[in-house]
């Protein structure tokens, strides 16, 4: 496999297994190979429970593969000190911290002085339209606002890569659209590398440059689709015929996969 | 809405006053009419007179002071050590499992049963009572802190790890703050337990303290004295509980609908 000069993330033959509660060995991921370029927006789509979260945790360095290699900037990631952005489905804000203190968290960990931290947090709050909520606690915010704070917290310490694990999965459609537009705008402004995991194919197509299709048991990347829809995008792109053409194409592949999986499941069970 | 609530509050307050005053009134009447033997049960007026005497003569203050010293020293030492050991064992699971039989074994001992031993080991003075209260409080705080450490949200730890946090930062920024509500629950249980420990310690052997006063009252057949001290103890517990509630308000303002 050739590796372009601007490859940022390089996953080689990743294999990961788990032991289920009754002691059975479960292959979570097998033969996972891909490259992600610097500044690219990649979405990973797959059915629930197919190992997407496991893959993301491997990429962030929170867990290690049983075999295979993950290189970031041609260096293997050691333990979990990657200093990357990571957003999970739960907002994972610290409930005892106010909005601005939550946003400052990443900078605090890096030892940035308090004055600078506060300034940076305030900038982000103003920019993301959460003015007036600086001193609110997470329980006082709506789900969408919490995820906005989580986005700001990730942006505050300026990581090169942001990993997102179904960050908008629990939100209603309107809020979701709004946050997807936020992400598109932020990506346009900052040109960060974003790896976005979702089970929602349309969301993946709206956001990404490339979509990886994952299959389950053992999970691997089955297909890869380049989304050549024009940039800058907004969520309105889902109304265009080009969008629908791509959606239909990937959908067909996905449903064959689901059918195949189901048949295998029926025969086996 | 507010008017309805206000009206409800008035009714509740009225009922409370009725219940309490009819209890005391019944007691007093029973005593006056000779239905209750005041030798065994005293009467509210007798108790009130004795309380007034205890305070006006200044006789009670050294006893209150002694018991409070024991209670607060026990609370302080028990909390500090309980929180510390709880955090350490919560952090190092292997160590926790290694010392688990020791801790459970010690915990299983009924503390009251070994109160005399503490007097034997630490003498008749204040030290024995403090150490006894310390031990009682330690277990309550330790178990709560440990449970808190075990139930830290792994998602929070993951997100902070991804930011590059080291072990110490994870501990101070995530694990310890998320134990605070647990520690406060332990502290609430400890207030009463610490007082019980101090009083029991004084029952065993002491020359000062509210527990000693109760024993003294009993040997002199002064039921009113015993009950006056008991009343004083309830007031002390209520006052300490109010202080703790204020602390909870301060520390848990980040939580929705605090259960009080």
What's the pLDDT at A3? 52
Please state the φ and ψ torsions of residue A26, each to the nearest 5 degrees. Answer: -120, 125
Cross-strand pairs, A69 = A12
With 0-12 CB in 10 A as exposed, 13-18 as middle and 19+ as buried, what is B190? buried
Return the closest-CA partner of residue A206 out of A232, A171, A186, A224: A232
Cross-strand pairs, A18 = A26
Q: Does residue A212 carry a pLDDT above 90?
A: yes
- Domains in chain B: boundaries: 1-36, 48-251
A4 — pLDDT class (breaks 50, 70, 90): low
CATH of domain B48-251: 1.10.3720.10
Chain B, 16 to 75: residues with Cβ < 8 Å from chain A are none
Give the ipTM of the model, two decimals please.
0.85
Q: What is the mean pLDDT of each run of 10 residues along chain B (260 residues)?
A: 81 95 95 90 94 95 96 97 96 94 92 92 93 96 96 92 92 96 95 95 93 95 95 95 92 74
Return the closest-CA partner of residue A111 out of B155, B165, B250: B165
Q: Which of B156, B161, B162 sits opposite A94 (nearest CB)?
A: B156
Q: pLDDT tens for residues B152-170?
A: 999 999 989 889 899 999 9
From CA A139, how far away is CA B23, in angstroms rounded?
44
Interface probe, candidates A54, A57, A77, A81, chain B, greatest B C-beta count within 10 A: A81
Chain-chain contact of B160 with A81 (C-beta, under 8 angstroms): no
Q: Does residue A82 carry a pLDDT above 60?
A: no
CB atoms < 10 A from the CB of A26, how many? 12
- Domains in chain A: boundaries: 38-64+77-84+161-269, 94-158
Q: Does residue A2 carry a pLDDT above 60?
A: no
Chain A contact present for B102, CB below 8 A = no
> Encoding tokens for residue B104?
């459970």
The beta-carbon contacts of A233-240 under 8 Å, at least 24 apart in sequence, are A233/A184, A233/A206, A233/A207, A234/A181, A234/A184, A235/A177, A235/A180, A235/A181, A235/A184, A235/A206, A237/A206, A238/A202, A238/A205, A238/A206
How far is CA B188 from its chain centroid?
6
Q: Is the peptide bond before A21 cis (omega within 30 degrees of 0)?
A: no
Chain-chain contact of A62 with B173 (C-beta, under 8 angstroms): no
Chain-chain contact of B164 with A83 (C-beta, under 8 angstroms): yes
Name the residue of chain B whose CA is nearest to A141's CA: B256
CATH of domain A38-64+77-84+161-269: 3.40.50.300
CA distance B85 to chain A (A): 23
Single pTM value for the model: 0.86
Chain-chain contact of A138 with B254 (C-beta, under 8 angstroms): yes
Length of chain B: 260
- Cα B81-B85-B87 angle, rounded to 5 deg: 120
């Amino acid at each position: 496999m050739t590796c372009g000069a601007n490859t940022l993330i390089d996953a080689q033959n990743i294999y990961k297994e788990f032991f289920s509660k009754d002691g059975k060995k479960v292959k979570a991921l097998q033969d996972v190979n891909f490259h992600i370029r610097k500044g690219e927006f990649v979405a990973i789509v797959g059915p629930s429970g197919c190992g997407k979260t496991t893959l993301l945790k491997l990429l962030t360095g929170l867990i290690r593969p049983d075999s295979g290699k993950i290189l970031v900037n041609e260096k293997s990631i050691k333990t979990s000190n990657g200093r990357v952005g990571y957003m999970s489905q739960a907002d994972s804000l610290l409930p005892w911290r106010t909005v601005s203190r939550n946003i400052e968290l990443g900078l605090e960990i890096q030892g940035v002085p308090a004055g600078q931290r506060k300034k940076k947090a305030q900038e982000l709050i103003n920019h993301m339209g959460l003015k007036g909520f600086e001193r609110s606690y997470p329980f006082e915010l709506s789900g969408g606002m919490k995820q906005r704070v989580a986005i700001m917290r990730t942006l505050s310490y300026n990581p090169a890569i942001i990993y997102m694990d179904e960050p908008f999965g629990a939100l209603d459609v309107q809020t979701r659209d709004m946050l997807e537009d936020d992400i598109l705008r932020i990506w346009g402004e900052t040109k960060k590398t974003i790896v976005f995991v979702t089970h929602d194919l349309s969301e993946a197509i709206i956001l990404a440059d490339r979509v990886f299709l994952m299959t389950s048991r053992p999970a691997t990347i089955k297909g890869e689709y380049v989304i050549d829809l024009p940039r800058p995008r907004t969520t309105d792109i889902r109304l265009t015929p080009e969008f629908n053409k791509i959606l239909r194409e990937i959908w067909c592949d996905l449903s064959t996969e689901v059918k195949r999986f189901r048949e295998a499941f029926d025969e086996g069970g | 809405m507010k008017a309805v609530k206000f009206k409800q509050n008035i009714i509740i307050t009225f009922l409370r006053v009725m219940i309490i005053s009819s209890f005391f009134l019944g007691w007093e009447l029973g005593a006056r009419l000779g239905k209750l033997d005041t030798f065994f049960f005293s009467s509210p007026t007798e108790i009130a007179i004795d309380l007034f005497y205890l305070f006006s003569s200044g006789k009670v203050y050294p006893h209150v002071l002694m018991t409070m010293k024991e209670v607060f020293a026990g609370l302080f030492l028990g909390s500090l050590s309980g929180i510390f050991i709880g955090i350490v064992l919560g952090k190092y699971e292997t160590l926790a499992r290694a010392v688990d039989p020791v801790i459970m074994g010690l915990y299983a001992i009924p503390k009251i049963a070994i109160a005399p031993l503490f007097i034997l080991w630490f003498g008749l003075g204040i030290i024995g009572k403090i150490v006894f209260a310390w031990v009682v409080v330690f277990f309550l705080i330790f178990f709560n802190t440990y449970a808190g450490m075990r139930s830290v949200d792994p998602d929070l730890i993951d997100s902070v790890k991804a930011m590059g946090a080291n072990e110490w930062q994870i501990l101070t920024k995530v694990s310890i703050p998320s134990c605070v509500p647990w520690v406060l629950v332990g502290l609430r249980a400890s207030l009463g337990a610490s007082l019980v420990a101090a009083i029991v310690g004084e029952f065993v052997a002491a020359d000062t303290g509210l527990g000693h006063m109760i024993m003294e009252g009993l040997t002199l057949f002064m039921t009113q004295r015993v009950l006056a001290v008991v009343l004083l103890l309830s007031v002390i517990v209520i006052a300490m509980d109010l202080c703790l509630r204020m602390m909870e308000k301060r520390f848990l303002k980040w939580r929705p609908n605090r259960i009080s």
